[in-house]
Every structure is written in structure tokens, then in C-alpha cells.
Chain A
Amino acid sequence: MTVTMQPERAALVDRADLLTRVDRRTRRRSRWTDILLGTVLFLFGVLMISPLVWLISTSLTATEAAFGTPPNWLPIPFTLDAFSGVFEYMPFAQQFINSLLLATISTVGSLFFSVLAAYGLARIEFRGSRTLLVLMLSALMVPAQLVIIPVFILMRELGLVDTLAALWLPALVNVFQIFFLTQYFRTIPRELDEAATLDGAGHWWILFRMLVPLSGPAIAALAILSFESSWNGYFGPLIFLSSPEVMTLPLGLVVLQSGFGSAPAVVVFAAITMVVVPLLIVFLVFQRQFIASVASAGLKG
């Protein structure tokens, strides 16, 4: 593996600042360039969020005026009908719970097994650990689509097609997490382990009382990535899930739009809003962690 620029943990903390750190290291430039740049970028930012503004505004606009020409950017006349319509057309609450269950079980489960495996690989130099690691890493090249057909057949034999288990069971093994955590554990000094062992600590204690707490940022980053991936997953649900009550939100949204006698566009928009707005709120609260996790994952890549 190549040499990284900074110790893992410090890097993660640093990246959390990406959101707010302003680069003051540049020399004085003409104010006009600054203003021009600022204006251009501001307009760009506005364009970037314009689809979302249109989304939310249209969801709150009465059907006759929605999607009119010229486009409505303000929800006038205001109505919440589209939102109540969502509940008539799709089991939104149930699907929300499904998404939540799937993401939570996948994330907690995979992290648990990955932490265990990373400990074994990083801390206990046992015979075959290197081979195992290489074997698992090669799995990162195997695309999900290759694996999904055999897994579908397996789930069929187990009678688990059209259940959430078909989705979270395979998600319990996450090679990226194992690799990431193994690397991270390796940066934690072994002296700590040795000290603990002298005090009579066993593997379990060292792992869960010492290494895991020390790996907080890494685990948080992985948790966010895993959660986001499960929550937003579409391909897996598309293949496995067919009953609306079992579906997760992304699939439910698409079925809402494309089903026979499909919901009116405002209702579809309202449903999308109901998914996007909570996400936005969660993001604004946890932004540092979100950005840090993406940054570190990408650079690890």
C-alpha cells in the first residue's frame, strides 16, 4: 500500500473542517476578481439547488397551478393536499420503517463483523491472515450485479425473496470496512495492547474497550457510508422486493411514479420531498461527519 500523507486519525479530524475552513493563505488579489468569482460561484450554487427548491415549492402548490408555465418558484396557492395524497397512494410510513430497519441492521451488523475481523487480521498475526486479506480485497473488484443472481437463487431456496432479510443478510459482510478498519487498527500503537494484556485483559476487552473507542471517527465514517448505501439502495430492492409493504423508500418512490394509474406528479413530488427534507435536516446537523467520512473513504480508495 502506498504511503499516506498523515496519520489516519488526525486526517479524519482534519477533514471534518473541510466545510468551514477558509483558505486565507492566498495573497492579495484585486477585489474585482474576488467579487466576480464570488458572484459567479453564488449563481452556480443557486443553480445547483434550484431543482430542490422547485421540488419543495411544487409539492406545496395546488395541482392546478403546479407545473404551470411560467414555472412556480413560490408555493402559491399553498396546499398540503399532495402530502396527504402520498399516504393514499403508497404505504409511506411502512416503507420508511423498512428503509430504517434495513439500514440499521445492515450497518450495525456489518460493523460488528468487520470490527471482529479487523481485530483478527490486524492484531493477531495468524497463519493465513495475509492470504485471507488479499482474497477478500480481490472481492472488491467483484461487482454487485455479478453476485446478485446467485444470491437471488440462494434466497429463493431459503424462502427469503421479498423480505428485507434478502437485503441485509448479504450486507453483513463488507470488505471495504474490513480493510479500512484493519488499516486503522494498525495505526494504533501495539504498546497499548501489551499494557492491557499485562493487566490481565483478554482479546475481547482490548478490542471493545480500547480499540473500538479509539477508532471512533473511523467507525463513525464507515457507519455513515454504510447507512447511506443501504438507505439509498435501489438495485437490490428492485430485484428482491415486490410487495409494496416490504419495499424500501427508493423503490417505493419509483413504483409510485410508474405504477399503472400512477400518482399525479405533485404527489410524486411530495413523496420525494418527504424523503429529501428529513435527509437535509440530518445532513445539516451532522455535516462534519458526513463530509469527513466521504473524504476519508474516497482517499482510501
Chain B
Amino acid sequence: MHRRRIAAGIAALVTSAGLALAGCSGGGGGGGASGDADSGELTFVYRGDADQQKAFNSLFAEFNKEHPDIKLKAQGIATDNWAGYANTVATRLAGGQKIDIIQMATEGQRLFASKGVLEDLGPFMERDQDVVDDYFADVNPNLKKYSDEFASGPDGETVFIPGGYNTMGMYLNRSVFEKAGVAIPEGGDWTWDEFLAAAEQIKKTTGAYVCGGTTGYFTDVMPWLTTNGASTFNDDWSEPTFDTPEAIEAAEFARALVEKGLSPEPGGQYDADTAYQKGELACLSGGRWPTISIRNLDMVEESVFVNWPTKAGPGSPVGWDAWSITKKSGNKEAAWTFIKFLMSKPAGEYFASIGGTIIPARDSVATSSFFTDNAPEGSERMSEAMDFAIPVPSIDRGSEAQKAIEEAWLAILTGQGGAKATLEETQKTLESLVQSE
């Protein structure tokens, strides 16, 4: 009797102490400090592989030239996709790591915005209104609109400054198309049927594949959906729309490409870059980032960028990077100084030229030679797509949603599940994820 009471007492004590500690340091409570605008240490996380880390490090060196007293500790996190990146950053924050600035793409912005761990940037923006206005005047108005609508904090405050973005299109291998006798689409526009015909012709005459067989949410699912007027969620992301007839049609089309042997088999270790170089793959899909690979492969002249084939109309997802300051940052002023630098035109130009894998937010830079130099013909189409692109729907529980969507697409492409049945089932999963918010 006696012993059991003691045991229970200790149990309660341990648990409550632990959770009190947890509540204290974990929560969305204050903490953090303003610090000095021009000195101190800043820790900045971003998503980047080895190549991108090189580009970012150059950019940071440029920043340090102007602000030698701010020490930037940049941590590039290399993950498969934005969902994985968002999870990693959240785990690090939960693990108590000191992070001042977080770069986050659309896919993960709601995850963080809704948690209340990001600083309200409103006061900073008001103070430097001229810098902010100058920036947004040069940015496609849709970008600001989407950022405000979708990436605001729990009380509607601005927590993200949008940066560069990506839309989706295709890079075509000129010589493969020539060999097959297929013309590069005029003005960069073509339809699903024309794409299918081109793929069949290319396969017949050269044996090369066309792009497809991959299952990324942004890179594969959304382009096919949007070019048929469909999307994973509705306009305000409150309801999933993954099982509409248009969506099913899109999934079936993607499946057909695999079934007919026109695209590589999904789910393996296919090295697209090497195949593109060898002429075994006729196109690479992507936004700006394949340009860097194409430069490395020395195929800039060989390649031309065109829009994604359309069915119901032009379509593309847009996903944008954004920068935020954490509430618990100990150096918010310096962090804001850094963000202002990222917004500046020279920074945008520099980053575009050294191999940034995003389309610069500033239109003036995206259409300038900084961007189009050493880039395939047609690269300006990437920023033009902003006119019809829709933001890639990313709900609060974004990483789980992304996982469900990608798994469904894989099942459909491999023929494991019929398009209709699989999409309907995933629709239910997405509904439960949205409801729990």
C-alpha cells in the first residue's frame, strides 16, 4: 500500500515536472531578443544540396562584405523534398536548436506559420517601408497576394517575406527531337495530345524516353492536374479536390505514359541527368533548378525550355521560398538586416548569376541577362508562367498531405491502383488531415 502510493506520487511528480519544463521552453511564449542590427551571430537554415550550398555560401560572402560584423552560420539541409525539410527543421527547433532565420517553401509554410513560432514582421516592414515597397513593386503581384493569403500567422500577421519561386515546365533535348523529326513547340505551347504523339514518335525512332515516371507533388502531380484545370485542394485550401473527374483524367494520362513505355518506370534509381546527356531521355521537367544541372552537363545550347503540355488550359504550380525570423531568435534586428539584403536587387542579380536554383522574385532580375545568360532558350517563360500558375496547396499538416499524395500517385503510375479508386481513397485521407486543423 505504502509503496504504491510513493510510486504513484513519484510518477506524478516526474511527469508534471517534465511537462512544466516542456511548456516553459517549448511553447510559443516570448523569449528572444532584438539584438543589434549590425552585429552578432545569425543561424540560418535553408534547403540545399552540396551544389546549392556552394551558391548560398557565395551569396553570404557578399553579405558579409557589407556587414562584416554579422556572423552568418548557414546550415544547408539536404532532404528529398520540402516535406522532409520541414520535418527536419521542426525537429531541430523542437530539439532546442537556436535558429534565427528559416527559409521555407510553400509546402511547409503553413506548418510553421500555424505553430506560432515565427515573428511578426509587420513592425520591421513598417520601419523600412521604402525598402519593402521597392521590393514588392518589382515582384509579380500574385506572389504577394498568395503569400498574404496563405502564409500568414495565426492572427493574420505577416511572418514570411516571399523570395524566389519556381514554376514547372520542360527542358527539351534539341538533338533528340531533331533526330525523331519532332518539332519543338511554337512559342513553347503544346497540348497533351501533341506531347503524347511526340513521345511516341521519339520512342519509335530514337528509343528515348520522355519525362514522367516520377511522383513529386510539385514536380509531377500538380503540373498534370493544373493543366487540366484540376488541383489537389480548392482555392482556399479548405477542401481537398483530389478525386474530381479532371484529376482522375490527369492521373490516367500520367499512367498511360508509363504503361506505353514512353516514360521511365517509377520507383527505381533512374538517373535522369545522365540519361538526358546521353540522349536517352528527351526532356527534363522542372522549374529553374534543372538549368544548373544542364550547365554542369554542358548542354545549355542543346536545350530549350517550353511550357507544360496543356489540356484544359495552361497550368503550373508555383512554389516560392520565403524567409522568416523565429520568435526565439536572439538577434532579430540583425536577422532583418539580412532579409533586407536578400530583398535587394544586387543580391537577386548576384544569386541568379552564380547558380541559384530559383526564379528571382524581382521581375527585373528574372528578365535580365543575369538570369537568361548561360541558360536555355525560352527561360523567360518560367516567370511568365506566374500569370497562370496557382500556389501548390500546402495545408497545416502539409508534410503528411504531401506524403499521401505522392504515395497515391506512385500507386497509380505503377498500376497498383486504379486512378479513380486510389484518388478517392486519398481524398478521404486528405479530408481527415484538413479537418484536424
Contact = CB atoms under 8 A, between A and B. Distances in A.
A261 B22 contact: no
B205 interface: no
A155 B95 CA distance: 8
A265 B269 contact: yes
A260 B97 contact: no
A240 B97 CA distance: 11
B277 to A, nearest CB: 11
Q: Which of A159, A162, A239, A261 has the most CB of B within 10 A?
A: A261
Given A153-B22, A242-B88, A255-B78, A261 B95 contact: no
Given A242-B88, A259-B78, A157 B49 contact: no
A261 B96 contact: no
Interface in B1-40: 18, 21-22, 25
B52 interface: yes
A260 B83 CA distance: 12
A155 B97 CA distance: 11
A6 interface: no
Contact of A261 (B52, B77, B91, B269): B52
B116 interface: no
Contacts of A63: 274
A264 B271 contact: yes
A63 B275 CA distance: 12
A186 interface: no
Contacts of A239: 91
Interface string B241-274: 0000000000000000000000000000101001
Given A150-B18, A157-B25, A162-B97, A243 B75 contact: yes
A176 interface: no
A259 B80 contact: yes
Interface residues of B, number: 27
Given A89-B50, A153-B18, A156-B95, A258 B79 contact: yes
Interface in B80-110: 80-81, 85, 88, 91-92, 94-97
B69 interface: no
Nearest to A255: B78
A262 interface: yes
Q: Which of B47, B50, B75, B94 has the most CB of A within 10 A?
A: B50
Contact of B21 (A88, A89, A157, A258): A157
A156 B80 contact: no
Contacts of B96: 156-157, 159, 161
B80 A242 contact: no
Interface string B39-52: 00000000111111
A155 B94 CA distance: 11
B271 A259 contact: no
Interface residues of A, number: 25
Contact of A161 (B48, B78, B95): B95
Contacts, number: 62
A152 interface: yes
Nearest to A241: B95
Contacts of A152: 95
Contacts of B47: 260
Contact of B91 (A89, A242, A243, A259): A242
A89 B51 CA distance: 10
Contacts of A159: 96
Given A161-B96, A162-B95, A264-B271, A88 B50 contact: yes
A239 B85 CA distance: 14
Contacts of B80: 258-260, 262
Interface string A142-183: 000000001011011101011000000000000000000000
A88 B78 CA distance: 14
Nearest to A156: B96
B355 to A, nearest CB: 12
A111 B81 CA distance: 42
A204 B42 CA distance: 51
A242 B75 CA distance: 10
B78 A162 contact: no
Interface in B87-142: 88, 91-92, 94-97
Contacts of A255: 78
B311 to A, nearest CB: 30
A261 B51 contact: yes
Interface string A57-84: 0000001000100000000000000000
Interface string B178-209: 00000000000000000000000000000000
Interface in B316-354: none
Contact of B48 (A162, A260, A264): A260
A1 B73 CA distance: 56
Given A150-B18, A162-B95, A260 B271 contact: no
Nearest to A88: B50
A240 B77 CA distance: 15
Contacts of A89: 50
Nearest to B15: A150
A88 B7 CA distance: 54
Given A161-B97, A260-B47, A260-B80, 18 more contacts: A67-B269, A153-B18, A153-B22, A156-B25, A156-B95, A161-B95, A240-B95, A242-B77, A242-B92, A259-B80, A260-B52, A260-B79, A261-B49, A261-B51, A262-B49, A262-B80, A264-B274, A265-B271
24 contacts: A67-B269, A88-B50, A150-B18, A155-B95, A156-B94, A156-B96, A161-B92, A161-B96, A162-B95, A242-B77, A242-B88, A242-B91, A243-B75, A258-B79, A259-B80, A260-B47, A260-B52, A260-B85, A261-B49, A261-B50, A262-B80, A264-B274, A265-B269, A265-B271
Interface of A: 63, 67, 88-89, 150, 152-153, 155-157, 159, 161-162, 239-240, 242-243, 255, 258-262, 264-265
Interface of B: 18, 21-22, 25, 47-52, 75, 77-81, 85, 88, 91-92, 94-97, 269, 271, 274
A-B pairs with the 10 shortest C-beta distances? A261-B49, A259-B78, A161-B95, A156-B96, A260-B49, A260-B78, A156-B95, A242-B92, A258-B80, A161-B96
